[in-house]
Structure 1
């Protein structure tokens, strides 16, 4: 038979309630007391009965994570981090791939899975502020990405600032004519697309250059041939720098440029956003804007857990928060002139 809370409390010389507070991660325990309890937990090899605890609180111990794609490297990496963070809080994750389809996103926000998940983390591409204000389901919800409405917690980077930083990096590398490679229209969040375009424009104009809409390319699909054609159009327009909406497009842009005889970065410098694993191992390696993915996962799960705990205890979790994660410009070979 495993150790019980009362066994740990007796060994540590504290109350059962204090042990429970430490086990559940509550902050109002002194460092000295926490240290004694943690030592006793280790000595007795205490393992909480998560199933019993969840049953008492009317919880399943499972959360749903809705992502637009799990083929996209960024979302695959983020999913892994979310699972790891959830596991550290004794939560099991159900991954739901929405494909960025409005009906699938609505199902998650309107109670699909609500009979067996305690909360939902969703990265929306089609959800609107109206969808959130008219939402009927009360399952705790945290959104990944730009804040859509003040009625829901959100965690993400500032897309406008990230795009501006990427464009400024190219300008600092003496790029004078910078093209923007966007994803196909209607293929990702329109909000994020607009913000990244705006950040690009702000950097261009702040540097004293004229904003040229013709230097923004929208390939009809994300297939290699269409992306290559879009890049070829920008190269023919005389660009010496390419800011790509994400790293996947950045990698495709580098390949397309080199296939047409352009040297990267000597003839055209390239930067993306996401810092996916592949960007570190290509030739040349891809410069990128790296979001704090670990921080995004940690903040999202923490925010959802706070909502779940409050709902289980019949309490208010406080006003929804908008968490802006850090990001860093990572200069690699594709912009080193």
Structure 2
């Protein structure tokens, strides 16, 4: 006989409403309670009746997560976190690529307004090119990343502080000619460049425009191409601060191919702490933040917005830390 919500509630020693909150993702539940309910769901082989649920509450049980570029290792790790967090809530997570396009973002917002999906988690590239703007009729939306729009809930890491700390680490280890690699039109780059510049200024080091290196994209190929182009016309810096680990992977490959040794000839650092960062040669010093926490908090905020569209919007800064590995050394 098929298990019911009441069966699960008795087994987990919680109320049926708490079971519904866990299954539907409608309200935040403490980790301990969620674990008890999930254990009961698994042990009783509970299967939610999604058709009945949709007819009852007008929801699809589907949310969308839209990222600018799905080809990067960072995108793979963050989408995995969202799929896992969604599964724990009984949600289907639809993964989309916005490509930084206002038209694509607008299409996704329209889907949510038409109730084809229940809500949207969006990672825009620039506020100016985002479809999420003041005065626009918005469905339930949570924004992640560096673009902040006060009209919606927002989760991000403090990029300025993180780059200030990362660059400061290099300064403290005796590096003086420190380059920043990753220049492109994005809010992430603008904030990371600000932190980099603040660290150099605080150390009394000059800001040299030649050490701010543009790229054609935040890909490994883009990183390799940019560092080779730079070194064809400029001397080797003491250190390279790469705006993402994906860029840093390309930089490490290009430097190795051209006969440079990291960290003996120069130090290299990244940002994101993707799983591959621990296995580059040498392992990469980088900025870490917990992507599973991002996904869990984003879906909690989205559930709150779905249930209470008038709730005041919030902006939450997530913690980060520097992970020291073997790609840096004192000068």
C-alpha deviation, 1:40, in angstroms = 7.7
2:286 is equivalent to residue 268 of structure 1:
no
Q: Counterpart of 2:253 in 1: which secondary structure?
A: helix
1:198, distance to aligned residue in structure 2 (A): 0.5
1:204 aligned to 2:207? no
Alignment of 1:98-137 (within 5 A): 98-111=98-111, 114-128=114-128, 131-136=132-137
Match of 1:279 in 2: 277
CA positional deviation for 1:239: 1.3
User: Size of the alignment, in residue pairs?
Assistant: 321
- Aligned match of 2:153: 153
Alignment of 1:158-169 (within 5 A): 158-169=158-169
Could you report, residue by residue, the CA deviation over 1:5-51 in whole angstroms, capped at 9, with x for unpaired residues? 4556778998xxx322344146799x9x9999899877765544343
- Among 7, 16, 19, the residue aligned to 1:19: 16
Q: Do the aligned partners of 2:112 and 2:120 also contact (CA within 8 Å) in 1?
A: no
Q: Residue 303 of structure 2 corresponds to which residue in structure 1?
A: 305
Distance in 1 separating the partners of 2:85 and 2:263: 38
Q: Gapped runs of 5+ residues in structure 2? A: none
- Offset at 1:173? 2.2
For residues 85 and 213 of structure 1, do their structure 2 counterparts lie closer, same or farther at Cα, with a shift above 3 Å needed?
A: same
Answer whether contact 1:105 1:127 (CA < 8 A) is retained. no
Could you say what secondary structure the match of 1:229 adopts?
Answer: helix
Hey, what's the Cα distance between the residues in 2 that align with 1:65 and 1:172? 39
Cα distance in 1 for partners of 2:244, 2:285 equals: 11
Is 1:227 the equivalent of 2:226?
A: yes
Measured in 2, the distance between the counterparts of 1:28 and 1:256 equals: 47
Shift of 1:302: 1.0
Offset from partner CA, 1:89-108 (integer Å, 9 cap, x none): 11001111111222212322
Q: TM-score, normalised by structure 2?
A: 0.85
- Unaligned ranges ≥5, structure 1: none
**Is 2:63–2:92's contact at 8 Å kept on the other side of the alignment?**
yes
Q: Which residue of 2 is the match for residue 140 of structure 1?
A: 140
1:253 aligns with 251
CA contact (8 A) 2:180 2:243 kept: yes
Contact 1:65 1:94 in 2 (8 A): yes
Paired with 2:57 and 2:262, the residues of 1 have a C-alpha distance of: 57
1:123·1:145 contact (CA, 8 Å) conserved in 2?
yes
When residues 60 and 165 of structure 1 are mapped into structure 2, their CA distance, relative to the original with a 3 A threshold, is same
Q: Distance in 2 between matches of 1:12 and 1:220?
A: 53
Residues 121 and 144 in structure 1, CA contact (< 8 A), matched pair in contact too:
yes
Show CA shifts across 1:151-196 (max 9, x none): 101112111112112211211222111001114x33xx2x221111
Q: SS in structure 2 opposite 1:243?
A: strand
User: Any idea what the Cα deviations from partners look like across 1:95-131, whole Å, max 9, x if unmatched?
Assistant: 1111122221232234468431000001111443784
Give the direction of change, closer, same or farther, for the CA distance of 1:171–1:27 in structure 2 (3 Å limit).
closer
CA contact (8 A) 1:181 1:231 kept: no
Q: For 1:35 and 1:278, how far apart are their aligned partners in 2?
A: 29
TM-score (norm 1): 0.84
